[in-house]
Structure 1
Amino acid sequence: MVKKLEINPAAKALIFDLDGTLADTMPVHFWAYKNILVDYGIDFTPELFAAMAGVPAVQTIQLLNEKFGTRMNPEKIGHLKEAEYEKNMHKMKPIQPVVDLAKQYYGKLPMAVGTGGYKRLAWKTMEIIGLDKYFEILVPSEDVKHPKPHPETFLKCAELLGVQPGVCQVFEDGELGIQAANAAGMMSTLVTDFYEVTIGEEI
């Protein structure tokens, strides 16, 4: 039996991660990396992907260079990966329990999205899953100096929402995101307990 996703009674604002939290984009991201990295002799596995969940593309390529001793240009390969991802974005699906919660609290509590993704693609994702009308505040990777697990993304969300970090509840699918929420002094909820994750299957 799947547990029910709930709001903490102390929460006065809600902050959502996007990829893997509101939108089931993880299989699309995984195959984008896998298809690009095969040219560099890297067998990109679901386990490797899971270990880097929530890390922006450029930093992911830097980490892979360190791990495999490759010399990929992080900016160039990061953008190639994002282009590959964009080609298949239409295949993503909403993560229903989390999307339903966002819709339920729309207009009742202030809400924002804090993502490690690029702004343009993040808004496109929101549009595909039908949530672009529900959120006005989105903090993407371009708007912060320090990505998750640094708390800057979520602290910026709280600032734009006009609420104290301590009364924000963050919904995340990645361990780095949970660390970021905790470092920001916020309440955190790991959403992967509420839906099935399928990364390696063909999209």
Structure 2
Amino acid sequence: MIEISKNVKGLIFDLDGTVANTMQNHFLSWREAVLPYGIDFNAELFKSLTGKPRGATILRLNELFGTNMNPIIVGKVKGESFQKMINETKEISIVADVIRKYHTILPMSIGTGSTKNGAKKTLEVIKMSHYFNIVITANDIQNPKPHPETFLTCAELMGIAPKDCVVFEDGILGMQAAEEAGMMVVDVNDYFKMEFTI
């Protein structure tokens, strides 16, 4: 079980790769979407982009590879590919157990780079929707991770000072965002090993 400091007053969870084991499916759907543009979307590249919203990821890939992918068109392919796999999503038990343990004891929220529809569907599939009244997605903010806006919005809606919140994250950008927000961070990678297979 992941131990929580006694000082913590609010819990904030990233969704993909933290609460829901969606990362292999995201990885495969990104590979499918950018392969026609000659990009070998490998695990290392994926990890460096984890936490960025779809459009921002495509723009970054354009910068890295000199491509001219249309974020709307490529994003649609990625989204449709991911949707086909979404019903196979499982919870990440080590984190889901924390949610179950602290439900009704501490305020909790989700802070994700996913879209509102994507987050809603993922939470439904892993049967965790009822634990979260506050779900902040890419649709709710101006500045994605590593900017702290996602997590600061969660803290504000929970009515908890940022310094009293702990963020559960698997992505580098998300951890940077949490630290920037002045929050405590639990690196989920210390408890759960993500494997990417092609």
| CA distance in structure 2 between the partners assigned to 1:188 and 1:194 by the alignment | 13
- Mapped pair 1:24 → 2:18: no
| Residues 46-104 of structure 1 deviation map (CA, whole Å, 9 limit, x = unaligned) | 11101111111111100100011000011221222112111111122110000011011
List structure 1 runs of 4+ shifted beyond 3 angstroms.
none
Q: Determine which of 161, 170, 175 is the counterpart of 1:173.
A: 170
CA offset at residue 172 of structure 1? 0.2
Asked if 2 retains the 8 angstrom alpha-carbon contact of 1:170 and 1:186, the reply is yes
Identity, in percent, stands at 47
Q: Determine which of 5, 12, 16 is the counterpart of 1:8.
A: 5
Find the counterpart in structure 1 of residue 83 from structure 2.
86
Structure 1: any 5+ residue segments left out of the alignment?
none
Aligned-residue CA RMSD in angstroms?
Answer: 0.9
| Residues 118-177 of structure 1 deviation map (CA, whole Å, 9 limit, x = unaligned) | 001101100111100111100000110000000000000011111111100000001110
With normalisation by structure 2, the TM-score equals 0.97
Aligned-partner residue type, residue 51 of structure 2: G
Asked if 2 retains the 8 angstrom alpha-carbon contact of 1:30 and 1:49, the reply is yes
Structure 2: any 5+ residue segments left out of the alignment?
none
Correspondence 1:139-150 to 2 at 5 A: 139-150=136-147
With normalisation by structure 1, the TM-score equals 0.95
Find the counterpart in structure 2 of residue 108 from structure 1.
105
Asked if 2 retains the 8 angstrom alpha-carbon contact of 1:122 and 1:140, the reply is yes
| Residues 18-62 of structure 1 deviation map (CA, whole Å, 9 limit, x = unaligned) | 000000100000000011111111111011101111111111100
| CA distance in structure 2 between the partners assigned to 1:131 and 1:106 by the alignment | 11
Matched residue count: 198
Find the counterpart in structure 2 of residue 156 from structure 1.
153
